[in-house]
Amino acid sequence: MIKKLICFLLVLQVCHVCKAVTKVACIGASITYGATVKNREHNSYPAQLQTMLGNKYQVNNYGVSSCTMLKHGDHSYWNTKEYQAALASNPNIVFIDLGGNDAKLVNRVYLNEYTADCKAMAAAFAALPTHPRVILLLPVVSFDKDTTGIWDPVIVNQVMPKMRQAAYDDKLEVIDIHSLLVNHPELMPDKIHPDSTGSRIIARRLHDQLVIKRDPGFNIFNAIDQQKSESQFYGYACADFTLNGHQCKVVKPKWSAPQHPWVWRARFWGHEPQTDIALLERGFHIVYCDVAELFGNAEAIAQWNQFYDELHKGGLGPKAVMEGMSRGAVYALNWAAVNPTKVACVYIDNPLLDMKSWPAGLGKVVPPANEELKQFKADYHLETDEQVRNFKGSPIDKVADIVKGHYPILILCADADEAAIPDENTLPFEKQMKALGGSITVLHKPGFKHHPHSLPNPTPIVEFILNSTQL
């Protein structure tokens, strides 16, 4: 009798463990399979993901080399036994990594069908009894120069936009693994397939996506009390509206991270958006209120104060991540100096920090910018050259107020910047910040000019923001 009871309890325990296991299906081609990776059974990205997740997850690798998302592709994944096995496994989570082989010349004639095929595959999994969470993976970067093969320009300009369209249409999650290795050709020995280290980077990104806490019920759009329309921002829904005559945008993630974090793009909406996209993937909102060209004056700050109140009242967190490129740094820091308790951190990129350097042209290198100088003088009611020379309304003049906020600042600085001269902007600003005990980090880009902004792989910027917001 005791033996029977023990056996019964063991069966119950096994059943409980089986129910508790989350099944993950990795759908893809050779990179998913682990082709060219030494000891692929342990070093493919699905295998490394299994190790990272532990025994509460069961990660199954359904990768098949050379396969396409396209039904009419030369080696369609739809026709494989692995696809049928993946469906039969009734997974709880599905990663779909199909798109690299679709970029081959032989398959490009069918690329107009890619979005529909992508949506159909996602729907096939979503219809399973387990109603799995389906996550699309943008294709891994290709360094192959053969234009008939897996050619990266086709991946970037054709496959990725079509995948993002599918994500937008069907509200699917999408992860940009393309940027993760774009600056690491050394991790792609054959220029197409990541080695074990590259596979680990992919696995880590997928792991983080699965373990992050989520608040899927929050929808900021419901709280925007303005007449609005909807557009698409790289696969995410964007609400467009006006506030006091100023154009505003709010992009919502597929699900919100706890505390509903947000990034406030100060200027140049959509320019070099890789950091914004990476944070949307992680549950951040991206917002914008156009106050160009007020150069961060009192009117701009007042308008932004109202924009902040609208969004915070609607449920976004009490502290925003301020993001400013070029003159956008003026807007971001001038507002932050007045609102020190409403800022989580600041990321500025090749920043203008002293408007006497530009547009006034009072520095050593850059001449005056005539049209912008007229606007600047009008915005600040400056009538004489002496008033311009004595102007004290730039971020570099407000370091003491900025430091009081105790928020960390990251500057990405191109050392050969010919527009926002580092010697007249970033470097003296950094020196003053450190002298007053401020938290500032400057990442230098040796040899780079004012453009391009950001980094092809935004990981250092993203990690700074995640660490600053403790997410």
Residue range 273-310, pLDDT digits in tens: 999 999 999 999 999 999 999 999 999 999 999 999 99
Residue 161 confidence (pLDDT) above 70? yes
- Res 5: pLDDT: 46
CB 139 within 8 A of CB 100: yes
Q: What is the CATH number of domain 220-469?
A: 3.40.50.1820
Please choose, from the candidates 54, 48, 62, the residue with its C-alpha nearest in 3D space to the C-alpha of residue 91. Answer: 62
Band (pLDDT 50/70/90 cuts) for residue 101 is very high
Residue range 399-449, pLDDT digits in tens: 999 999 999 999 999 999 999 999 999 999 999 999 999 999 999 999 999
Task: Average the pLDDT over 358-375 and give the result.
Answer: 93
17-211 shares its CATH topology with 220-469: yes
CATH class of 17-211: alpha beta
Task: Average the pLDDT over 310-322 and give the result.
Answer: 97
- Res 471: pLDDT: 73
- Res 158: pLDDT: 98
Q: Where are the domains of the chain?
A: 17-211, 220-469
End-to-end CA distance of the chain: 52
- Res 289: pLDDT: 98
- Res 19: pLDDT: 58
Residue range 45-62, pLDDT digits in tens: 999 999 999 999 999 999
Residue range 6-16, pLDDT digits in tens: 444 444 444 44
What is the rounded CA–CA span in Å between residue 198 and residue 201?
A: 5
